[in-house]
Amino acid sequence: MRNAPPDHRLIDGKAVRGRILDEVRAYVDRHNGIGRLVSISIGDTPEVAIYARNQARGAAAAGLRFDQQTWNSEIAQDECKRRILEMNDDPDVLGIILQRPVPQHIHVRSLQSAIHPLKDVEGMNPASIGNIVYSDVALAPCTAAASVELIKETGLDLKGLEIVMIGHSEIVGKPAAMMLMAEGATVTVCHHMTRSVAMHSRRADVVVVAVGKAHLVGPEMIKPGAAVIDIGINQITDAAGQTRIVGDVDTAAVLEVAGWITPVPGGVGPVTVAILMRNASVAHQRQLAAGWIV
């Protein structure tokens, strides 16, 4: 029996990841290496270990050195900040990644603010997020940038496109909305106080979902032919007792209506890692321009 042909309505995040990483590797090769990325994990957390491992693989594919550091969970806030400031001054450190979650006694926003904007490859420093308001999106939060990249993968022209963003977090929903406006799209942001999310989403050319509720979005909420970008990652246990990962969208049902949709897993996640590596190459360009490195 032959395998079924690929469903071209499913946007292949792994293919997009491969293309971006190839571009970054070509950049790294042209410059004979561009410094190292430092990943900081505070304490041992299983999900953090998975994130860091995926990032290490992405760095290896892009030809980037990846320094994975795990700091004691009892480390003081001031000591964390001191170490980060040392990395800011180290010309061999290209970028700093602060893995989340962190222990309760650590103020994560303070540490993100301590990472110099030119080494902020995650785009999480408040200055980096603020730059998006002025349409400087080169070092944007990686998941938000990945969602924009995947919309572009459909071939749709973002200028004038009607986009509904469901979710308004500081690291995904809000920056994604601002990035899409910078591309010329008309963006509506829905959140938990929106009276009728479906009323907005049904008119959209593109729906981007980042809420964290399994199968929140069904086919009745999507306009026929629209693109759906599913950022959600949720672990559920089915009737047979099997645990699996699903998104915020009921993919199988929405696939009957949508023109394009990102699968979970295999959609936004792989592209997020690739965007992190692309941000590293942008950080290198900006550090060169600032005279930090030669």
Q: What is the average per-residue pLDDT within 140-159?
A: 97
Please tell me the distance from the alpha carbon of residue 19 to that of residue 16, in angstroms, as a whole number: 5
Question: What is the model's pLDDT at position 1?
Answer: 43
Q: What is the average per-residue pLDDT within 259-275?
A: 97
pLDDT band with cut points at 50, 70 and 90 for residue 294:
confident
- Residue 94: pLDDT above 50? yes
Average pLDDT of the residues of the chain: 95
- Count of domains observed in the chain: 2
Residues 153, 110: one domain?
no
Residues 115, 159: one domain?
no
- Report how far apart, in Å, the C-alpha atoms of 226 and of each of 75, 161, 205 are: 48, 11, 5
- Residue 253: pLDDT above 50? yes
Backbone angles phi, psi at 13, to 5 degrees: -65, -30
- Residue 2: pLDDT above 70? no
- Residue 89: pLDDT above 90? yes
Residues 116, 149: one domain?
no
**Percentage of residues in the chain having pLDDT higher than 90:** 91
Residue 292 placed within a domain: no
Residue 209 placed within a domain: yes
Question: What is the model's pLDDT at position 15?
Answer: 97
- Residue 169: pLDDT above 90? yes
Residues 265, 146: one domain?
yes
Residue 291 placed within a domain: no
- Residue 171: pLDDT above 70? yes
pLDDT band with cut points at 50, 70 and 90 for residue 293:
confident
- Residue 182: pLDDT above 90? yes
- Sign of the Cα pseudo-torsion (168, 169, 174, 177, in order): negative
Q: What is the average per-residue pLDDT within 3-26?
A: 89
Question: What is the model's pLDDT at position 240?
Answer: 84
Determine if the pTM surpasses 0.75.
Answer: yes
Please tell me the distance from the alpha carbon of residue 279 to that of residue 142, in angstroms, as a whole number: 8
Q: What is the average per-residue pLDDT within 41-57?
A: 94
Q: What is the average per-residue pLDDT within 283-292?
A: 96
- Sign of the Cα pseudo-torsion (144, 150, 152, 157, in order): negative
Q: What is the CATH number of the domain that holds 201?
A: 3.40.50.720
223 and 254 in contact (C-beta within 8 Å)? Answer: no
Q: What is the average per-residue pLDDT within 123-148?
A: 94
- Residue 69: pLDDT above 90? yes
Q: What is the average per-residue pLDDT within 29-42?
A: 96
Please tell me the distance from the alpha carbon of residue 259 to that of residue 274, in angstroms, as a whole number: 24
Residue 235 placed within a domain: yes
Please tell me the distance from the alpha carbon of residue 160 to that of residue 277, in angstroms, as a whole number: 29
Question: What is the model's pLDDT at position 162?
Answer: 98
Range of the domain at 54: 32-121
- Residue 148: pLDDT above 50? yes
Q: At 88, which helix (H) or strand (E)?
A: helix 77-88
Q: What is the CATH number of the domain that holds 111?
A: 3.40.50.10860
Q: What is the average per-residue pLDDT within 124-150?
A: 94
Residue 109 placed within a domain: yes
